Amino acid sequence: MSSFLTVNEKNFPEQVLKASLPVIVEFGAVWCAPCKRLEPIMEKLGDEWGSKVRLVKIDVDESVDVTMNCQVMSVPTLILFVQGQEKQRLTGLQSRERIVEKFTLYL
């Protein structure tokens, strides 16, 4: 069972920018091998962080406008939003330790 909420251009403002919780958005694509390797790491972190954070997934091929507005140039990209503002960004396949190091401060 995925702990990711799939978001698109229509519900991005409501689910991410207006969220009361911090939101980690994974920008990825079905054809992206590093994205597939990152997903289990994020699933486990989502379980560990529980109700402190919302995990969201955006397919860059299906949500081009959101992807461009967020200036995502490669996948996977993780962006942490807090109260609608970008607080942290990681690009490329990251280790669990690196993700925890960069994001825990904001949760």
Which helix (H) or strand (E) element contains residue 79?
strand 77-82
CATH of 4-106, one of 3.40.50.2000, 3.10.129.10, 3.40.640.10, 3.40.30.10: 3.40.30.10
pLDDT tens track, the chain, 107 positions: 357 889 999 999 999 999 999 999 999 999 999 999 999 999 999 999 988 999 999 999 999 999 999 999 999 999 999 999 999 999 999 999 999 999 999 98
Distance CA 71, CA 79 (A): 11
Residues with catalytic function: 32, 35
The pLDDT, as a whole number, for residue 24 is: 96
Domain regions of the chain by residue span? 4-106
The pLDDT, as a whole number, for residue 50 is: 85
Q: Which strands form 4-6's sheet, in the order they lie side by side?
A: 4-6, 54-59, 23-28, 77-82, 85-91
